[in-house]
């Protein structure tokens, strides 16, 4: 039973690393946007 | 008018810091809240999102009473109120005969009335408008850090729990039977909904925050068949709506929040008619094939 649950858990976590890598890219782009929006001079 | 069409697109963001901040705030909400909206829609919980958006109001109002228009106090208050309503409506459903939609509706109506009462008795009409419709053109550094942090946390959590979330949309009984992740997934998802609504509330207000969550998700449903593409299409629609809404509000002096949500509404209308996945035109073209 435990082996079966482990197998199901592995299926649920399939593709985790590529998704986390994609998420890291999105987050990096977002924070780059933060520095673009707040660091450049402009009215207000 | 403008010397070149792209000047109309770039000039507001190149010249004005408040426009860049508004754009980044909207993009952060699009990246964080819209994928959550896709899962809300897939779980047939779109109206739950709307109810939760109203439920955060009394907490934000109490934060406002204690500390004025303080970002931290209103965020914390909104989070506590949103989570309390989500948990209480679940509890009432478990211990009484009332269904979850009815108990959630009861709690959110009470919350909305209480929130408006607190803000309007202690504050001015301007404060009430700020809480209800947000101030996307007045986002400061602290608000942007909050929005980007919530978006980052949401993207990471959704990437980690993507498959359990998809499975819970398709077959929650199966997920419950094979894994202990079901309860964790459900609670984490509810927390993400409340977090994103509280973040969105600072920019678009309690009444509009749910719009950028649900409308792009509903529009994307007519363009994508798989959940991965649905999320990507919804985020793209949300970003384009934000950009177009901000530009329209800049050039034609329209209120920004409603302009953004209305553009998302137009995207939904166009998708409803022309979308290749179940849109009206696609269905009309398919019908003769089925008839023959």
Residue B3's pLDDT is 63
Instruction: Check A23 against B156: CB less than 8 A apart.
Output: yes
Q: What is the pTM of this model?
A: 0.88
Query: For chain B, which residues lie within 8 Å of any Cβ of chain A, measuring from their own Cβ?
Result: 14-18, 20-21, 23-24, 27-28, 31, 141, 144-145, 148, 151-152, 155-156, 158-160, 162-164, 167, 178-179, 181
What letters, b where the CB count within 10 A reaches 16 and e where it falls short, cover B147-167? bbbbbbbbbbbbbbbbbbbbb
Chain A interface disruption, residue of B159, B165, B177, B236, most A CBs within 10 A:
B159
Residue B132's pLDDT is 75
Q: Is the dihedral of CA B54, B56, B58, B63 positive or negative?
A: negative
Residue indicated by tokens 């700020």: B130
Instruction: Check A19 against B160: CB less than 8 A apart.
Output: yes
Residue B290's pLDDT is 60
Residue B147's pLDDT is 95
Q: What is the SS3 assignment for B123-151?
A: CCHHHHHHHHHCCHHHCCHHHHHHHHHHH
Q: B43: closest CA among B83, B109, B101, B106? A: B101
- Tens digit of pLDDT for each residue in A1-44? 577 667 667 777 788 899 999 999 999 999 999 999 998 665 44
Task: Tell me if B77 sits within 8 A of B63, measured CB to CB.
Answer: yes
| Residue B84, token pair as written in the block | 């309390």
User: Shortest Cα distance from B151 to chain A (angstroms)?
Assistant: 8
Q: State the Cα–Cα distance between residues A36 and A34, nearest whole angstrom.
A: 5
Residue A44's pLDDT is 46
Among B23, B156, B163, select the one facing A12 at the smallest CB separation: B163
Which residue stretches of chain B have pLDDT < 70? 1-3, 123-128, 288-292
Q: Is the dihedral of CA B171, B175, B181, B187 positive or negative?
A: positive
Q: State the Cα–Cα distance between residues B162 and A12, nearest whole angstrom.
A: 8
| Residue B73, token pair as written in the block | 């106090």
**How wide is the angle at C-alpha B283 spanned by C-alphas B280 and B287, nearest 5°?**
140
Q: Domains, chain B, ranges and CATH?
A: 5-285 (1.10.3470.10)
End-to-end CA distance of chain B: 54
Across the strands, what pairs with A43? B16
Q: B118: closest CA among B80, B54, B65, B52? A: B65
Residue B288's pLDDT is 66
Structure ipTM over 0.90, yes or no = no
Query: For chain A, which residues lie within 8 Å of any Cβ of chain B, measuring from their own Cβ?
Result: 4-5, 8-9, 11-16, 19-20, 22-23, 26-27, 30-31, 33-34, 36-38, 40-44
- Tens digit of pLDDT for each residue in B62-112? 887 788 778 888 888 888 998 888 888 878 877 888 887 788 888 888 888
Q: State the Cα–Cα distance between residues B231 and B34, nearest whole angstrom.
A: 8
Residues of A in Cβ contact (< 8 Å) with B14: 42
């Amino acid at each position: 039973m435990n082996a079966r649950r482990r197998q199901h858990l592995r299926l649920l976590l399939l593709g985790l690393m590529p998704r986390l890598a994609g998420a890291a890219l999105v987050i990096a782009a977002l924070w780059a946007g933060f520095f673009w929006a707040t660091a450049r001079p402009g009215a207000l | 008018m403008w010397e070149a069409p792209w000047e109309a697109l770039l000039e507001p963001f190149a010249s004005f810091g408040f426009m860049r901040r508004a754009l980044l705030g909207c993009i952060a909400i699009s990246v964080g809240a819209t994928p959550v909206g896709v899962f809300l829609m897939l779980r047939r919980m779109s109206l739950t999102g709307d109810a939760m958006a109203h439920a955060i109001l009394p907490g934000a109002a109490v934060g406002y009473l204690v500390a004025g228009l303080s970002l931290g106090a209103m965020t914390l208050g909104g989070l506590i109120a949103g989570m309390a309503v989500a948990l209480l409506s679940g509890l009432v459903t478990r211990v009484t005969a009332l269904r979850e939609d009815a108990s959630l509706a009861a709690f959110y109506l009470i919350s909305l009335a209480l929130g408006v009462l607190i803000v309007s008795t202690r504050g001015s009409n301007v404060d009430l408008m700020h809480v209800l419709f947000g101030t996307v053109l007045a986002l400061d550094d602290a608000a942007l850090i909050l929005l980007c942090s919530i978006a980052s946390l949401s993207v990471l959590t959704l990437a980690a729990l993507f498959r359990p979330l998809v499975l819970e949309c398709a077959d929650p009984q199966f997920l419950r039977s094979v894994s202990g992740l079901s309860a964790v997934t459900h609670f984490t998802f509810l927390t993400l909904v409340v977090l994103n609504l509280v973040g969105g509330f600072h920019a678009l207000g309690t009444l509009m925050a749910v719009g950028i969550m649900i409308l792009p998700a509903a529009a994307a449903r007519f363009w994508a068949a798989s959940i991965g593409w649905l999320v990507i299409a919804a985020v793209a629609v949300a970003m384009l709506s934000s950009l177009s809404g901000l530009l329209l509000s800049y050039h034609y002096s329209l209120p920004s929040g409603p302009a953004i949500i209305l553009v998302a509404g137009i995207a939904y209308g166009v998708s409803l008619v022309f979308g290749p996945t179940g849109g009206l035109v696609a269905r009309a073209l398919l019908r003769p094939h089925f008839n023959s």
